[in-house]
């Protein structure tokens, strides 16, 4: 039983592929805080250049699409729930889960 719980917990941290984009690692990528309690989430990387951030709901619908030049992103329009965040920077793309409380 413990093995099953650990397996499920590890699976929840895996990256997710959306729209068949390459899932190259973005150097120094961080998405925090996660889970989010306030209306701001920070998206940072080693280079901190222009990023395109897309947020999808659990149905795969695009609910937020922004181009970020700063580290902070306002997510006040999002209802509490689980989302998938796709970040593209310098031709590389990465996806992560985001929990909004």
The CATH code of the domain that includes 70 is: 2.60.40.3080
Assigned token pair, 91: 């031709």
Strand partners, 82: 99
Confirm whether 95 is domain-assigned. yes
Residue 11 lies in a domain: no
Domain count for the chain: 1
Tokens 């150097």: give the residue. Answer: 27
Cβ contact 78:37 at 8 Å:
no
DSSP state of 90: T
- Specify the pTM: 0.76
Residue 86 lies in a domain: yes
Q: Looking at the chain, how many residues does it have?
A: 101
Instruction: Provide the residue-wise pLDDT of the chain in tens; the chain has 101 residues.
Output: 444 443 334 334 445 554 554 556 899 999 999 999 999 999 999 999 999 999 999 999 999 999 999 999 999 999 999 999 999 999 999 999 999 99
Give the single-character DSSP code of 78. P
Helix (H, G, I), strand (E, B) or coil at 96: strand
């Amino acid at each position: 039983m413990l093995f099953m719980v650990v397996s499920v917990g590890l699976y929840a941290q895996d990256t997710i592929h959306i729209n068949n984009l390459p899932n190259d690692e973005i150097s120094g990528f961080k998405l925090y805080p996660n889970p989010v309690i306030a209306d701001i989430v920070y998206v940072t990387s080693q280079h901190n250049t222009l990023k395109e951030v897309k947020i999808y709901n659990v149905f795969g619908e695009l609910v937020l699409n922004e181009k970020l030049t700063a580290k902070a992103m306002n997510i006040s329009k999002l209802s509490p729930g689980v989302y998938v965040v796709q970040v593209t920077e310098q031709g590389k793309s990465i996806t992560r889960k985001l929990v909004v409380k």
